[in-house]
A and B are shown apart, each in its own frame.
Chain A
Amino acid sequence: MADTAHAAPDGAPRRDFLKLVTGAFAAVGVGAIAWPFIASLQPAKDTLALATTDVDLAPIAEGQAVTVMWRGKPVFVRSRTPKEIQEARAVPTSALPDPATDQSRVQREQWLVLIGICTHLGCVPSGQRATDARGEYGGWFCPCHGSHYDTSGRIRKGPAPRNLDVPQYAFTSDTKIRIG
């Protein structure tokens, strides 16, 4: 369709203009056709609508952690012990590869909520169960390429570039959070 635009010799100027306009029109049309196809690959409306998850914190004892699914990804919810909180806050931010205070990463100091995906290449770090390897800093340890996270989910050692991400969440009551 568009190839009518660059054609035949013997160029009366009006024909060239006409061809140019037609070619441009056809190009716009082809572009417009591409959009619905691309849009169809984006998350569908039902997928977007399911983008929140409620978590009941009551059954999680101090020192324990649970993993919940949110948008198809694991989310770590950890009830930290006073010792773990103290450890996380004692570190000067200047000593961190990705500086962030512990305060900036939690809404209530006992509850740490993280997306459980290593920021290196997307593995799920271990450390949710007390028996798991938690790495040198007592948080999480990614077995794929050896990244160590501390009790605030910050990267301390290994190839991962960033701290574990904190999802959007809100306390809907003292013992409930809604992620997303």
Chain B
Amino acid sequence: MLRFSFKALALALGLFATAPAHAAGEAIPIPDRKFSFDGIFGTYDRASAQRGFQVYKEVCAACHGLRLVSYRNLRELGLTEAQVAAIAAQFEIKDGPNDEGQMFERPGRPADRFRSPFPNDAAARAANNGALPPDLSVMTKARAGGADYLFALLTGYVDPPPGVTVMDGMHYNKYFPGNQIAMGPVLNPDQVEYADGTKATIEQMAHDVSTFLQWAAEPELEKRRAMGVKVIIFLTILAGLTYAVKRKIWADVKH
């Protein structure tokens, strides 16, 4: 009898195994970067994510929005209520209409979503030679390789190999599909000054901002995994009990 459940399992696994093949996409292998949130029990390194937020705010936010994340969400990274309120207040948020029917700007509140740098896609393109800097809210879920890919991309700017001409306004990147990317190598050593004294190398900043964006895309990850462990333990015990009951019930049946 067990034989059959193994077969079923094998069939199910067969389906699983073939499925992710289509997620692979382009054939540029992405090196595996060690992140704190890797694996089943991984969690977000708060210090790294906070530094990553700083990198995002001071570098990326000039062009890239994070429109699905709210300032209040930063509390989850360990910032205090006052810090979050102060960060939100740095941004002018469009609100309205007021009593005169005019839209107006007011300082941001924790409940506001992150302000996007451009009012719409057309304005974003106009300011960037026709290229659209994508919103980063779910970026690690939207690219095969996730945070590994982001890190590889941010550290992947190299001189083009001989014979390759890079188009005007484009930059050569080892890991970008097609290798020519409109975004320049924006990270430079010591571009940001980390409050905790961490040395701001390109690699460090890329690592931190990848951690931050992974958190931005999957803020539920830690809760999800913690609950998953409990659920699986519970179900495993229940499976044992149910199987024992089944054995007992079937004990007197010859088959």
A residues contacting B by CB (< 8 A) are 1, 4, 7-8, 12, 15, 18-19, 21-22, 25-26, 29, 32, 45-46, 49-50, 59
Task: Give the contacting residue for A19; candidates B99, B110, B111, B245; CB below 8 A.
Answer: B245
Contact assessment for B245 and A4 in the assembled complex, using a CB-CB cutoff below 8 Å: yes
Bound CA–CA A18/B245 (angstroms): 7
Bound CA–CA A21/B242 (angstroms): 10
B101 to chain A, nearest CB (A): 15
Contact assessment for A29 and B234 in the assembled complex, using a CB-CB cutoff below 8 Å: yes
Asked, given contacts A22-B238, A49-B110, whether A15 binds B248 with beta carbons under 8 Å apart, the answer is: yes
Asked, given contacts A18-B245, A46-B70, A49-B70, whether A26 binds B111 with beta carbons under 8 Å apart, the answer is: no
Bound CA–CA A21/B72 (angstroms): 44
A47 to chain B, nearest CB (A): 10
Contact assessment for B241 and A18 in the assembled complex, using a CB-CB cutoff below 8 Å: yes
Contact assessment for B244 and A49 in the assembled complex, using a CB-CB cutoff below 8 Å: no
Residues in A neighbouring B72, C-beta threshold 8 A: 45, 49
Contact assessment for A7 and B249 in the assembled complex, using a CB-CB cutoff below 8 Å: yes
Bound CA–CA A18/B243 (angstroms): 11
Interface residue? B2 (CB, 8 A): no
Interface residue? B237 (CB, 8 A): yes
Bound CA–CA A12/B252 (angstroms): 13
Task: Give the contacting residue for B241; candidates A8, A22, A50, A59; CB below 8 A.
Answer: A22
Residue of B nearest to A12 (CB): B248
Residues in B neighbouring A50, C-beta threshold 8 A: 111
Residues in A neighbouring B111, C-beta threshold 8 A: 46, 49-50
Bound CA–CA A119/B249 (angstroms): 59
Task: Give the contacting residue for B249; candidates A8, A21, A32, A59; CB below 8 A.
Answer: A8
Residues in B neighbouring A4, C-beta threshold 8 A: 242, 245, 249
Bound CA–CA A100/B190 (angstroms): 64
Task: Give the contacting residue for A25; candidates B110, B238, B249; CB below 8 A.
Answer: B238
Q: Which 6 residue pairs spanning A and B have beta carbons closest together? A: A49-B111, A22-B241, A15-B248, A50-B111, A22-B245, A25-B238
Contact with A along B90-124 (1 / 0, CB 8 A): 00000000010000000000110000000000000
Size category of the B interface is: 10 to 19
- Tell me whether chain A's interface is mostly helix, strand or loop, or mixed: helix
Bound CA–CA A50/B235 (angstroms): 38
B residues contacting A by CB (< 8 A) are 70, 72, 99, 110-111, 234-235, 237-238, 241-242, 244-245, 248-249
Residues in A neighbouring B237, C-beta threshold 8 A: 25
Bound CA–CA A46/B245 (angstroms): 46
Contact assessment for B241 and A25 in the assembled complex, using a CB-CB cutoff below 8 Å: yes
Residue of A nearest to B241 (CB): A22
Task: Give the contacting residue for B248; candidates A18, A21, A26; CB below 8 A.
Answer: A18
B228 to chain A, nearest CB (A): 13
Bound CA–CA A45/B234 (angstroms): 28
Bound CA–CA A12/B72 (angstroms): 59
Residue of B nearest to A26 (CB): B238
B114 to chain A, nearest CB (A): 13
Bound CA–CA A144/B244 (angstroms): 64
Bound CA–CA A12/B244 (angstroms): 14
Residue of B nearest to A21 (CB): B241
B247 to chain A, nearest CB (A): 10
Bound CA–CA A49/B81 (angstroms): 12
Residues in A neighbouring B248, C-beta threshold 8 A: 12, 15, 18
> Which of A1, A12, A22 gathers the greatest number of chain B CB atoms within 10 Å?
A22
Bound CA–CA A46/B67 (angstroms): 14
B77 to chain A, nearest CB (A): 15
Contact assessment for A29 and B238 in the assembled complex, using a CB-CB cutoff below 8 Å: yes
Residue of B nearest to A59 (CB): B99
Bound CA–CA A22/B242 (angstroms): 6
